[in-house]
Amino acid sequence: MSADSFTGFDGAELAVTVMGEGRPVVLVHGLFSTAQMNWIKFGHAEKLVEAGFRVIMPDLRAHGASAKSHNALDYPFGVLTKDLTALVEHYGLTDYDLAGFSLGARTCAKGVIDGLAPRRLALCGMGLQGLSGWARRSAFFIDAIDRFDEIKRGDRAFMAKSFMKTMGIDREAAFLLLGAVDDVSDADLATITMPTALICGDKDQDNGSAKDLALVLPDGRYREVSGTHMSSVADGAFGDALVEFFES
């Protein structure tokens, strides 16, 4: 495992962790998380390495060890998609697989719509309504940031606050990022033509129905694991589903 960095589309320094040798697969973590939390801690990256993959895992802008600017100009609309494209170009990837969880899934989907061409794509913890409903999701997290110091146990935002606190989130940078995420229109889904796995917890409806998204995509394939939005990514079956899909 090696810690590396690359420059985002605008020159920002962004962190990336690389493990293994073999066919490249890029894994993009979710909101308020990191490569370490989403992909390494619960063994998913190691399973892919053991299966013969080279795993490339960025920390998104405003997350982990990546740049956390407090300048709004550093968060233009679609910034995460632009950074993902910069990552693919940095490593010279032409024949690779791509996966994202939650916000990472949205970023990967928009990246494909904007021109990225992975062999296979996995959109994890994501449903049909979630891809085009960012305004609702971001409003929830912006409210959690605004009320951070007053949120108590029992508040619907308590879990979001707790996760931000655990992850040491720079709330000012996160606030700016939340306003820069682009939606995916239903019409654009037809352009996602490669085999696409929808890996989602059986109790996860945070981003709508993954089953419905699988039906709408040209080659969508639903893969169910156990758990909620937060717990499913900690299940070993999540990594197994990634390996099975990318090996096929």
User: Is 151 part of any domain?
Assistant: no
Q: Write the pLDDT tens digit of every residue in 159-174.
A: 999 999 999 999 999 9
pLDDT at 133: 83
Residue with tokens 């990634």: 242
pLDDT at 55: 98
Report the number of distinct structural domains present in the chain.
1
Q: Looking at per-residue confidence, does 134 or 88 come out higher?
A: 88
User: Is 175 part of any domain?
Assistant: no
pLDDT at 135: 87
Mean pLDDT over 110-124 rounds to 98
pLDDT at 79: 98
Mean pLDDT over 83-102 rounds to 98
pLDDT at 123: 98
Q: For CA atoms 99, 105, 108, 114, give the dihedral sign.
A: positive
Query: Could you give the CA distance from residue 147 to residue 154 in angstroms, rounded to a whole number?
Result: 14
User: Is 142 part of any domain?
Assistant: no
Q: Write the pLDDT tens digit of every residue in 5-44.
A: 999 999 999 999 999 999 999 999 999 999 999 999 999 9
User: Is 115 part of any domain?
Assistant: yes
End-to-end CA distance of the chain: 25
Q: Write the DSSP assignment of the chain as a string of letters.
A: -EEEEEE-TTS-EEEEEEE-SSEEEEEE--TT--HIIIIITTSHHHHHHHTTEEEEEEPPTTSTTS-----GGG--TTHHHHHHHHHHHHTT-SS-EEEEETHHHHHHHHHHHTT---SSEEEES--HHHHT-HHHHHHHHHHHHHTGGG--TTSTTHHHHHHHHHHT--HHHHHHHHTTPPP--GGGGGG--S-EEEEEETT--TTS-HHHHHHHSTTEEEEEESS-TTTGGGSHHHHHHHHHHHH-
Average pLDDT, the chain: 97
User: Is 197 part of any domain?
Assistant: yes
Q: Write the pLDDT tens digit of every residue in 195-234.
A: 999 999 999 999 999 999 999 999 999 999 999 999 999 9
User: Is 39 part of any domain?
Assistant: yes
Q: What confidence category does residue 152 fall into, taking pLDDT thresholds of 50, 70 and 90?
A: very high
Look up the CATH number of the domain holding residue 80: 3.40.50.1820
Of 126, 110, 73, give the one whose Cα is nearest residue 188. 110
pLDDT at 28: 98
Q: What confidence category does residue 98 fall into, taking pLDDT thresholds of 50, 70 and 90?
A: very high
User: Is 165 part of any domain?
Assistant: no
Domain containing residue 28: 2-132+181-247
User: Is 144 part of any domain?
Assistant: no
Q: Write the pLDDT tens digit of every residue in 102-115.
A: 999 999 999 999 99
Q: Write the pLDDT tens digit of every residue in 47-57.
A: 999 999 999 99
Evaluate if residue 140 carries a pLDDT over 90: yes
